[in-house]
Chains A and B, each alone.
Chain A
Amino acid sequence: MRAGVIVFPGSNCDRDLAEGFKAAGADVTMVWHKDTALPSGLDIVGIPGGFSFGDYLRCGAIAAQSPISKAVVDFAEKGGHVLGICNGFQVLCETGLLPGVLMRNAGLRFVCRQERLEVATENSAFTGRYKLDEEITIPIAHHDGNFSADADLVAQLEAEDRVAFRYLDNPNGSAGDIAGILSENRRVLGLMPHPERAVSDAQGNSDGMRVFTSLTEALVAA
């Protein structure tokens, strides 16, 4: 599997994300945001967490207009897989690849803690190695993770089995306790929790590893 990890000014989980992909056996190329094209032959693009462009204007808004983001949108529209974590999820919502918006946490505080999640679908390249309804723990660290969508959109995401992970103790006011969602073609995943911060015992938790091994399995076989 060949993975590309996008680096924006202010990204700070880019190397962690690269390590997550590598731990699952992927070749990883870092891609600077000013590049106008992705390296050829990528199986997946990762958009890391952090504070791209200082969160100015709105989280992810300026990154979503970066030259590389147009290439990422093209890649996704041609059926490529994209994984956006935390700020990456915010960027994906701002590009329109995923619906909804991530607003300020309902409690107004930055929340940084281990978070209990429920796996809401096995049916994606990102979650194939989890069991439906399995409880896992993945760290979160965000100020703007309040997934906001109207009731129709939440109902549609549920009906189409596009909720990937759900919070068990909703930390930020997200509609429907939603922690991560899939695109219509199920090849784009955005989530606020950080699976790349839970890929080895050295991090105290390896519940996030299967996001990456699921991908290796699904995309190598493809």
Chain B
Amino acid sequence: MKARVHVMLKNGVLDPQGEAVRHALGSLGFDGVEGVRQGKVIDLDLAEGTSEDAVKEMCEKLLANTVIESYQIEMQV
């Protein structure tokens, strides 16, 4: 089984890399990009029967820094 974890900066946390991407899009002529936020996608290959709670614990302990980041878990059976 697999799980996909999305890690994003929390709302309100400044994302200088996202801002740089937004500027680059603007200079390529893509008007109307009002904001860019950059995050991470982490795919986990898991032993059968691994619980979502276990993945949540992985997020809390390592995959996200919950001071500045939020995460979402998609369990894929």
The residues in B between 1 and 43 inclusive whose CB is less than 8 angstroms from any CB of A are 13-14, 16-17, 20
Residues B33-77 near A (CB distance < 8 A)? 61-63, 65, 67-68
Assess whether A104 is in contact with B17, with CB atoms less than 8 Å apart. Answer: yes
Mark A142-160 against chain B: 1 for CB-CB distance below 8 A, else 0: 0000101000000000000
Chain B residues in contact with chain A, CB under 8 A? Answer: 13-14, 16-17, 20, 61-63, 65, 67-68
A residues in contact (CB < 8 Å) with B: 57-58, 61-62, 65, 94, 100-101, 103-108, 146, 148, 173
B16 A106 Cβ-Cβ under 8 A: yes
Q: In this complex, which of B61, B63, B67 has the most chain A Cβ atoms within 10 angstroms of its Cβ?
A: B67
Can you report 15 residue pairs joining A to B where beta carbons are below 8 Å apart? A57-B62, A62-B62, A65-B62, A100-B67, A101-B68, A103-B14, A103-B68, A104-B17, A105-B16, A106-B14, A106-B16, A108-B17, A146-B16, A148-B14, A148-B68
Q: Which residues of B contact A62 (CB under 8 A)?
A: 62
Q: Which residues from chain B contact A105 at a C-beta distance below 8 Å? A: 16
Chain A residues positioned under 8 Å from B13 (CB to CB): 103, 148
